[in-house]
Structure 1
Amino acid sequence: VASVFFSSDTANPDTYSHFYCDMQMYQTTMPQADPQFFMNQFTSWEIANKANKWQGRNISRWQNKEYDDVYHQAETELDPVKRAAMFIKLNDLVVADRYILPEINRKLSIGLKNGMVVHESGWDNDLWQIANWYRES
């Protein structure tokens, strides 16, 4: 039952933060344009455990010193090009280490009236910039 699996009850051993299986599948999305908070879930200090009452975001307890080091560098990098390269490297580390296995990309379809000009985003919902939509005649 999803209400049990995704529960925040720290005394319940059947929640996803306890991660008592070899593999789990669920969809995690990144709603914000900046990847820092999303990539935080792969850091060693976010490992879910009894000491932090199973509230850490790294539920499968993967650790990689190089990942942690690059993440710390990205936190303070001001050059957007260098920072983007660091997050690409972080993504490559979790994929290369088989920590996450990207299996599917669920496609969405959007219906629009002819002539409608919208600004789509891979990071946000369909209405993210509705104030800037317009219709060409």
Structure 2
Amino acid sequence: MSRAATKDNYTYLSQKPGLQLIKVGSYDMKELNTILGIPEVKSQIIDIPITANENAATVGLYAMQEADKGFDFKYDFLEMKTVVTGKFVLSDDQGNSFTAEAGDVVIINPGTTVTFHGESDGTAVYVAHRLPEPTFA
């Protein structure tokens, strides 16, 4: 995956003045099995850029359905993921394991590799301290 996003590749949500709303279905989600090259993975994602300043932020929606196989993802940025439906079975390269359920918040620190296990079946909204991932946007 390329992580070479530049600030001028996107239209950012953070615009003045005031309040903004993202309606359900406003963005098409990308299939992760194609992006990751793991056909057994049943997972979708979309990155939506909020701001491009030195404290770049991206919001997104992530979904995973139960599958025969999970996957690993290396985070080189801070991310907060709030589970809105279902559950995510997660472990990291530090030996931590969790089942995050609706209402739970998962904080993923930079430098962590997270395993998303195949028995996961849920949806989460996340905020990441980075520009959007080009293959997810």
> TM-score interval w.r.t. the shorter chain?
under 0.3
Larger Rg: 1
TM-score by length of structure 1 reads: 0.27
Structure ranking higher in helix proportion: 1
